[in-house]
Amino acid sequence: MTGLQALLRVRETYIGIVATIAFQLIFFTIWMTAYDGVNERAEQLSIGLVVEDSAMGQQVAQNIKGSIPFAMEDYSSMKEAESALNERQINMIMQIPADFTNQIQAGKEAEIIYAINQANASVAKNMMEGVAKQLTEEINQALYPMQQSQAVEVFAQQFAQLPFEQHTAQQITTSVKTTVMNVKDHAVDGTIVKTNDVKGFAANFVPLMVIISSFVGAMVMIMQHQQAAQLVQESLSKWQLFLARQLLNVGVAFTLPFITIGLMHLFNIASQENLLSIYFFQAVMYLAFLSLAQVFVIAFGNMGMVFNICALSLQLVTSGVLVPKTMLSEGYKQVAAMLPATYGADGYYTIIFGGSSDNLLQNSSSLGIIIFVTLAIATLIVTFKPAPVR
């Protein structure tokens, strides 16, 4: 306890603790308030409409304007619309070419052209791609009855020229018309069932936000405690100092979850697990982050922060919150298995979106192994590292 008392008398110790709490508060406050209600503001995205066809194209355009929850801007030419798209005034261009009606009447496949600016936020791009598919599907369904009527009309005109009795010809025409009208444009319909769905756009970012705030907070805390340790190392043995730092790590790790859980409730982030499970998981995850960040600082001093910055980048890349782990190269998959963010992100997906509670237990076990290994490495480093000269 002598080492812990000595560290608690140094200002840098408290700076580290305050910093790790501040990162949780700052990240939650900024991310949750910024992303809250994003889906409800989808109508602020806009689509540029260029209608070059004066017949069916105009009718299609009118139907579209009343069916999608986005602002529609009419442009007289593609050049004008492309200029607005490049300046990011609109998010997509929908062009109905001049030969749209002619192609349909000729029985050919008409084309609608969608232009999406890729120099834009991923959410907007993905949303516009989905809208393009949806619009094409709706247009097909709207045009199919018109095509049916045209087909029946053409058949009736051609059949009337054949040498049949009027009554027989009328019966055949009626029968064909009934058959054609009963043919569905879609024989099979798809139903999408969203499992583990959570309302609110901001909830999707909680795993990423917790990973960033927790590891960056751990980095800053470990750096400040390293500076505090350097100030008191002359009056303590290296083992007293090492034990005191581990007690601080455990104390902060098991205190921080109260703040995290409180912030989740403050911003109405629903959880699918009980409070005790969330508390324990957050504590173990944060202790794993502290233990990992500590190894590099104990081994290399302040230069260890360079390795921690690399570890931050690796964890963001391999954690599965930005890109699914299965899409990574084999080398990065192996790296992911050794980093705590992988299990932290997976656990928080279970906490926020639901799933198997066994999954949360497995992730906690993996984090426990990382804590054990990193503490063992830190202990070996301290063992072979010479004590400071007093």
Which CATH number do you get for residue 145? Answer: 3.40.1710.10
Q: Would you say residue 271 lies in a domain?
A: yes
Predicted local confidence at residue 188, as pLDDT: 40
Please give the Cα distance from 77 to 97 (Å, whole number).
Answer: 11
Q: Would you say residue 193 lies in a domain?
A: no
Cβ-based neighbours of 75, under 8 Å, separated by 6 or more: 48, 49, 50, 81, 84, 93
* 267-280 pLDDT tens trace: 888 887 899 999 99
pTM of the predicted model as reported, rounded to 2 decimal places: 0.74
Please name the helix (run of DSSP H) or strand (run of DSSP E) that holds residue 353, with its range, or none. helix 340-353
Predicted local confidence at residue 383, as pLDDT: 92
Please name the helix (run of DSSP H) or strand (run of DSSP E) that holds residue 72, with its range, or none. strand 71-74
**Mean pLDDT value across the chain:** 81
How many domains is the chain built from? 2
Q: Would you say residue 189 lies in a domain?
A: no
Question: 80 and 227: one domain?
Answer: no
Question: 53 and 106: one domain?
Answer: yes
Q: Would you say residue 194 lies in a domain?
A: no
Question: 85 and 228: one domain?
Answer: no
In percent, the amount of the chain with pLDDT more than 70 equals 79
Question: At which of 182, 211, 242 does a domain end?
Answer: 182
Does residue 187 register a pLDDT over 50?
no
Q: Would you say residue 390 lies in a domain?
A: no
Predicted local confidence at residue 185, as pLDDT: 52
Tally Cβ neighbours within 10 Å of residue 43.
10
Does residue 94 register a pLDDT over 70?
yes
Question: 241 and 305: one domain?
Answer: yes
Question: 173 and 208: one domain?
Answer: no
Question: 75 and 153: one domain?
Answer: yes
Question: 206 and 343: one domain?
Answer: yes
Residue-number span of the structural domain to which 67 is assigned: 47-182
Predicted local confidence at residue 71, as pLDDT: 84
Please name the helix (run of DSSP H) or strand (run of DSSP E) that holds residue 49, with its range, or none. strand 46-51
Confidence band of 250 (pLDDT split at 50, 70, 90): very high
Predicted local confidence at residue 57, as pLDDT: 84
Question: At which of 149, 182, 215 does a domain end?
Answer: 182
**For the chain, percent helix, then strand, then coil, each to nearest 5?**
70, 5, 25
What does the H/E/C string look like for 181-221?
A: HHCCCCCCCCCCCCCCCCCCHHHHHHHHHHHHHHHHHHHHH
Q: Would you say residue 140 lies in a domain?
A: yes
Question: 29 and 59: one domain?
Answer: no
Please give the Cα distance from 76 to 139 (Å, whole number).
Answer: 21
Question: 246 and 303: one domain?
Answer: yes
Does residue 149 register a pLDDT over 70?
no
Question: 149 and 269: one domain?
Answer: no
* 21-63 pLDDT tens trace: 887 787 677 666 765 766 666 677 889 999 998 888 888 888 8
Question: 208 and 175: one domain?
Answer: no
Confidence band of 128 (pLDDT split at 50, 70, 90): confident
Confidence band of 186 (pLDDT split at 50, 70, 90): very low
Question: 53 and 168: one domain?
Answer: yes
Predicted local confidence at residue 306, as pLDDT: 87
Question: At which of 119, 150, 182 does a domain end?
Answer: 182
Q: Would you say residue 289 lies in a domain?
A: yes
| Mean pLDDT value of segment 72-98 | 88
Tally Cβ neighbours within 10 Å of residue 387.
12
* 98-122 pLDDT tens trace: 988 888 777 677 888 899 887 676 6
Q: Would you say residue 191 lies in a domain?
A: no
Range 294-317 burial, b when 16+ CB lie within 10 A, else e: bbbbbbeeeebbebbeebbebbbb
Does residue 287 register a pLDDT over 70?
yes
